Amino acid sequence: MENILIIGSSGHAKVIIDIVEKQNLYKIIGLLDKFKKLGEKTLNYNILGSEDDIPKLMLEYNITGIIVAIGDNFVRSKVVSNVKTIAPNIKFVTAIHPNSSIGKNSNVGPGTVIMSGVSVNPNCNISEHCILNTNSSLDHDSNMGKFSSLAPHACTGGDVKIGDYSAIGINATILHRKIIGEHSVIGASALVNKDIGSFAIAYGTPATVIRIRVKGEKYL
């Protein structure tokens, strides 16, 4: 069983800890969080330091993999970039809850997290470091760009394309063959019945672009 670290110690990290334990493929050695003190615990796992400590911990504990447990898509991407600089040989681990369904000929990229009750139908492509939250659904032939996310109960029709860094809110629905651009946010319970461009904030039924957002703007 490979030894891994998890970056983050928030509620999102707790969910990922639970998934990794249920997968039973990796052993969690500890957590990294620069905002917490050494020795603090989350679900009985110690804070061992920050990203800067990864090279030392890799040697000390024979660490081979890592998961970045940060919910904000853009912040997650910045942390991943930093880790690649600090420890270029580290592997980013994929966490898939055993109570999820991944359809035939669907691909899941490294660092992606798939939570309980998620349904991914056949011929989908999920890029690196995505999040598919509890009971979300990605229908056939759909694509999720890198660092994109589906919130709990978000649902897509078939042949949907979600751009890099975009976030689909809780209980939002995207109809068949619709395209969401990069860095966009779809609000909770929105119904997307037409394409939404990049850097947009859209919500409502049907979803309407309310304003343009800037790269990295907080949304959680």
Residue 198 lies in domain: 95-210
Residue 197 located in a structural domain: yes
Mean pLDDT, range 80-105, rounded to an integer: 97
- Confidence at 220, pLDDT banded by 50, 70, 90: confident
> Is the domain of 136 the same as that of 76?
no
Residue 189 located in a structural domain: yes
Q: Measuring CA to CA, how many Å separate 109 from each of 58, 70, 128, 149?
A: 23, 16, 4, 13
pLDDT of residue 47: 98
Per cent of the chain over pLDDT 90 is: 99
Q: Which of 92, 127, 148 is the last residue of a domain?
A: 92
Tokens of residue 178, six digits: 């619709």
Residue 134 located in a structural domain: yes
This model's pTM is above 0.95: yes
Residue 154 located in a structural domain: yes
Q: Which of 35, 64, 92 is the last residue of a domain?
A: 92
> Is the domain of 54 the same as that of 27?
yes
> Is the domain of 156 the same as that of 170?
yes
Per cent of the chain over pLDDT 70 is: 100
Match 């669907």 to its residue by tokens. 106
Nearest to 62 by CA among 90, 35, 82: 90
Mean pLDDT, range 90-103, rounded to an integer: 98
pLDDT of residue 126: 98
Nearest to 154 by CA among 137, 141, 167, 130: 137
Q: CA-CA distance, 38 to 26, in Å (whole number)?
A: 22
Average pLDDT score over the chain: 97
> Is the domain of 52 the same as that of 133?
no
The number of folded domains in the chain is 2
DSSP 113-180: EE-TT-EE-TT-EE-TT-EE-TT-EE-TT-EE-TT-EE-TT-EE-TT-EE-TT-EEPTT-EE-TT-EE
> Is the domain of 31 the same as that of 105?
no
Terminal alpha carbon distance of the chain: 34
Residue 102 located in a structural domain: yes
Per-residue pLDDT of 27-72, as tens digits, reads 999 999 999 999 899 999 999 999 999 999 999 999 999 999 999 9
Per-residue pLDDT of 178-208, as tens digits, reads 999 999 999 999 999 999 999 999 999 999 9
Give the residues across from 138 on adjacent strands. 120
pLDDT of residue 106: 98
> Is the domain of 65 the same as that of 100?
no
Q: Which of 30, 59, 92 is the last residue of a domain?
A: 92
